[in-house]
Amino acid sequence: MIPYARQSISENDIDAVVKVLRSDFITQGPVVTQFERAVSHYCSSQYSIAVSNGTAALHLACLALGVSSDDIVWTSPNTFAASANCALYCGAEIDFVDIDPDTYNISVAALKIKLQWAEKNTCLPKVLIAVHFAGQCCEMKEIKALSERYGFKIIEDAAHALGGDYLDQKIGSCRYSDITIFSFHPAKMITSGEGGMLLTNVADLAASIELLATHGITKDSELMTLASHGDWYYQQLKLGFNYRITDFQAALGLSQLQRLDEFVKKRRQLVQYYNDKLAELPLTTPWQHPDSQSCWHLYVIRLDLDRIGKTRKEVFDQLRLSDIGVHVHYIPVHTQPYYQQLGFKWGDFPESENYYKEVLTLPLYVDLTESNIDYIIQKIREVI
């Protein structure tokens, strides 16, 4: 089976993890701090906090921005459920903004219309979670301008996008957002097994995130409400969570980070190879906005089902029978049974729904070869 994604683990990665396992620190230790600083340096952000996974990062980002039961959060329907669930964890309402038909990210045009409507109906969002689908950045400059006009905060859900660029800056710089989150799941650009990170340029947000990620507990005497009783003393200041990452996970992430640019370069080469080979087939290859350079977490095509004369499921099943691990990203969140219980329904976000009916994710990972792609395309030709 050629999977849709696969991590690339080197001997250096293994050595880095083993070194930590043989050290005095395997939970929270110095390598976590090194990993945080290295990602901040790569992305040119001021602060970073490593956590247990990308979902934890999204939850903490909402909490740090004060999302609560009186608030509304907006995001894209074309994402994994965590991008929406994080608002519900805080007791807030969730709503969606339909996607752009070319980038599959949040549509700025749809966002403008929805904000105008929300302002008239006094239901503006407190936070917008902009999902950088497949590695391509949303139109953040325009979104930032709208946030200044309508007063909402911005979280960049960049779980797919570490290593990508937007307007000549690395995604994660937080130039156009309050907080950016990354995921280090094995399918992502680099992996720490499981893991995530929050980046920000706001000191107060960083301090709040760090406190909430560690049970709301501090040993910093300057933050305490009473004088410390001694070196053993700590205080719980907030109701926090155990969202910490381990030192050996951070060691893997730090080692992988050294190859990130190599990974991105290879993915871009493979994407170009795909694009060239698929150009004449009845399908649409991914379009790139001129302001964005994707890191290519996913390679997604849209099938012209009318010309092909088959359903997407027929194409999917036949490729799977040929040992090609095609996938579908994503089932629109608002169509999930849980979200339909909240009042959402099919037809609410037609662009996302039309996209879902035609989309197919082809294998893309660093160790994929051109001969693998040739085989994949041969089988696609046979099927369609």
Query: Any residues with CB less than 8 A from the CB of 1 and at least 6 apart, and which?
Result: 323, 324, 325
pLDDT value at residue 61 = 99
- Say how far apart CA 363 and CA 148 lie, in whole Å: 39
**What is the pTM (predicted TM-score) of this model?**
0.97
pLDDT value at residue 204 = 98
DSSP H helical segments within 286-347, as ranges? Answer: 305-308, 312-321, 337-341
pLDDT value at residue 268 = 98
Using alpha carbons only, give the angle 85, 133, 311 rounded to the nearest 5 degrees: 95
Strand partners, 183: 196
- Say how far apart CA 199 and CA 177 lie, in whole Å: 10
* Cα 271 to Cα 180, 227, 264, 315, distances in angstroms: 25, 59, 10, 21
- Say how far apart CA 342 and CA 76 lie, in whole Å: 16
Nearest to 160 by CA among 193, 188, 192, 140: 188
What the chain holds in terms of domains, given with CATH numbers, is 11-257 (3.40.640.10), 260-383 (3.90.1150.10)
Q: What is the pLDDT along the chain (384 residues), one digit of tens a residue?
A: 999 999 999 999 999 999 999 999 999 999 999 999 999 999 999 999 999 999 999 999 999 999 999 999 999 999 999 999 999 999 999 999 999 999 999 999 999 999 999 999 999 999 999 999 999 999 999 999 999 999 999 999 999 999 999 999 999 999 999 999 999 999 999 999 999 999 999 999 999 999 999 999 999 999 999 999 999 999 999 999 999 999 999 999 999 999 999 999 999 999 999 999 999 999 999 999 999 999 999 999 999 999 999 999 999 999 999 999 999 999 999 999 999 999 999 999 999 999 999 999 999 999 999 999 999 999 999 999
pLDDT value at residue 366 = 98
* Cα 233 to Cα 25, 219, 220, 222, distances in angstroms: 21, 7, 9, 13
